[in-house]
Amino acid sequence: MARGTIRYWAAAKDAAGVPEQAFDAETLGDLLAQVSRDPAVERVLRRCSFLVDGAPAGTRDPAAIDLPEGAVVEVLPPFAGG
């Protein structure tokens, strides 16, 4: 089980009510299941992309993305503007 930090941005931060929080999770899928227990967060997460230690998670299955000890997971909702 890895310990790390999840950081929420924009609408994800509003839904979570905090800018970041500590986590214990083995995979990105485990982490998303934990934070999705809040329905407001779950609705936003459906539209988000994720970075794990600065690398895009892409479209891979979150359950297949292992989280290293000390990982920083960024939750990025779609942004508008230019």
User: How confident is the model at residue 15, as a pLDDT?
Assistant: 96
Choose between 9 and 78: higher pLDDT: 9
CA dihedral (11, 22, 24, 62) in degrees, to 10, reads 30
User: How confident is the model at residue 79, as a pLDDT?
Assistant: 77
b/e per residue, 32-60, with b = 16+ CB within 10 A?
beebeeeeebeebbeebebebeeeebeee
Residue 23's pLDDT band, with cuts at 50, 70 and 90, is very high
> Domains in the chain, ordered, with CATH?
2-76 (3.10.20.30)
Confidence (pTM): 0.92
